[in-house]
Structure 1
Amino acid sequence: RLGILDETDSGLDIDALKTVADGVNTLRAEDRSFLVVTHYQRLLNHIVPDVVHVLAGGKIIK
């Protein structure tokens, strides 16, 4: 199973952001994956990622 969250944090206040992050963290499991696309570090302050890739200029730089 794959969940794709594409800029889910856009326009959210901190309380709503924490609600989204709590939902993702609650649904974490060995048989589930999430692809989270964001422009903001703040979401990653609340979601516990296994891997983070940074895209710049159309290339993964980290």
Structure 2
Amino acid sequence: DPDLVKRSVNEGFSGGEKKRNEILQLALLNPKLALLDETDSGLDIDALRIVSEGVNNFRGPQKAILLVTHYQRILDYISPDFVHVLVDGKIVKSGDAELALELEQKGYEWVREPTGTKVQS
């Protein structure tokens, strides 16, 4: 189909297909540093597992992944070495996977209070 050449790269793909395509690109390009911004956004449970498996397969000693997420659920499949919480562009709390679980239970207010920042509704 000649129109296929003219279309945008991800046109016609679902959200999950776009995310899986991003992970395929990650595997093909094989960068030393990967920034994955809200890779879990809009994924159903099956797609989340597939994407997480791709990220885990990419991991290695000479590679760094900066995984940005607002939800702990992807961390059920990808175990982070470090967890950092940012407020207004500044790291206000750092820890391991336990920090992500604590955030899931308590919300963000307890890490914002020392900074004087309120959670926006």
Q: TM-score range by the shorter chain?
A: 0.7 to 0.9
Where structure 1 has 5 or more consecutive residues not aligned to the other structure, the ranges are none
Which structure: larger Rg? 2
Render the CA deviation track for 1:9-48: whole Å, top value 9, x for unaligned: 1100011111111111111111111010111110111101
Among 34, 46, 61, which residue is 1:15 paired with?
Answer: 46
Which has a greater percent of helix? 2
Where structure 2 has 5 or more consecutive residues not aligned to the other structure, the ranges are 1-31, 94-121
Higher RCO (C-alpha under 8 Å, 6+ residues apart): 1
Aligned length: 62
Identity %: 61
Runs of 4+ in 1 over 2 A off after TM superposition: 56-59
Which has a greater percent of strand? 1
TM-score under structure 2 length normalisation: 0.48
